Amino acid sequence: MAANDPLLQPYKLKHLTLRNRIMTTAHEPAYSEDGLPKERYRAYHVARAKGGIALTMTAGSASTSRDSPPVFNNVLAYKDEVVPWMRQLADACHEHGAAVMIQLTHLGRRTRWDTGDWMPVVSPSHRREAAHRSFPKEVEDWDIERIIKDFDDAAERMKAAGLDGIELEAYGHLLDQFWSPLTNDLDAPYGGSLDNRLRFSFDVLGEIRERVGPNFIVGVRYTRAACRVLLGGLRDARLGGLTFWTQPNSWHHVMADHAVTFCVLPLGPDRTLLRTTWLIHKDAVEGVDYDPANLLAVWEATNRQDAALVEMTQAGVVSPSYEPGPYSPFTEGLVEDFCQWYVERMGAGLRG
């Protein structure tokens, strides 16, 4: 049966042959130390290579510039010291048959100024970013030249480390901020027409390709609207997203074309009710403006992955051999608030 499963068949990506079609997409485990992917970070990805995946996409995302300080203890791809550590990671994963890539980015306005080297946040406009609340400096010509070079240098470091390729994160980050007229107030050559707004991305990609040569995978990660009818009076689907929490137990993700809300309710020590609601424009027509399977696919997959992670964690906690720790010093405060509320609710229920 496995021999006939398309998911397990080799896949050729340009010159690179992957042993199957299973990969881990870019995400940040926050295991780097001083911005470097040291032993724990390496072990995290090597475990997946041992498990049989064809490609592990590291980082989520690695920062290419000093004025793009990471939010989740990300890898600092602008450091020369990253090369030997990434080489050890790549060599170890290659030994177990898995290809290795890394996601690179410049966050633009999607970060904070009061972290890292305390440098001004830059973007193609002064418009404030909703999630991290930064007022960006409008990017200047010399900033653009420097940032393009930073992308090129980071890509060259990854090739020198023996990786198989890179992926540039566009959605919500600096590349995407150039694309939308709602976040790009620049004049030509990098603002105005669509061709001009795309110019920065093409300049980055062109310079990277010239630097790394033809036998190195270079990709871009971006997203498209799931529904053709946008919410409210919005005219551009490329607005990024707004994420906010209603404490203690609700999460809300709002995009230009749809919104998703999650509500989590504890039912017992080992049972939790998760309710997910998708909202689209009332005039959107199913099968014409949106495909329900496409609309729900990412979030349903996310829910299944989260459920599997929680089930695995619960199985470990109830094991007789369980011993607490060690815990990462990097946590999400809102998640901790939810966990504290959950524990208090369960405690109240047990006390009757």
User: Considering 221, 255, 281, which residue would you say is the last residue of a domain?
Assistant: 221
Whether residue 230 lies inside any domain: the answer is: no
Q: Which of 106, 173, 253, 258 is catalytic?
A: 173
Are 193 and 255 in the same domain?
A: no
Size of the chain in residues: 352
pLDDT category, 1, cuts 50, 70, 90? very low
Rounded CA-CA distance 7/303 in Å is: 21
Residues 209 and 328 in one domain: no
Is residue 312 over pLDDT 90? no
In a domain, 190, yes or no: yes
Tell me the per-residue pLDDT of 265-291, one tens digit each, with 9 for 90 and over.
888 778 888 899 999 999 999 988 888
Residue 329 lies in a domain: yes
Determine the 3-state secondary structure of 252 from DSSP: strand
Q: Are residues 213 and 258 in the same domain?
A: no
> 258 and 206, same structural domain?
no
Same domain, 26 and 73: yes
Which residues is 276 bridged to in the sheet? 262
Tell me whether residue 228 is in a domain. no
Token pair belonging to 82: 């990253």
In the residue annotation, 173 being an active-site residue is answered as yes
Same domain, 162 and 212: yes
Same domain (yes/no): 141, 249: no
| Domain extent at residue 211 | 2-221
Is 233 part of a structural domain of the chain? no
pLDDT in tens, 161-191: 999 999 999 988 999 999 988 889 999 999 9
Q: How many domains does the chain have?
A: 2
CATH of the domain at 320: 3.90.380.10
CA distances (Å), origin 346, targets 268, 269, 274, 349 = 7, 7, 16, 5
Whether 91 is in a domain gets the answer yes
Residue 238's pLDDT band (cuts 50, 70, 90): low
Answer whether 56's CB lies under 8 Å from 19's CB. Answer: no
Over pLDDT 70: what percentage of the chain? 95
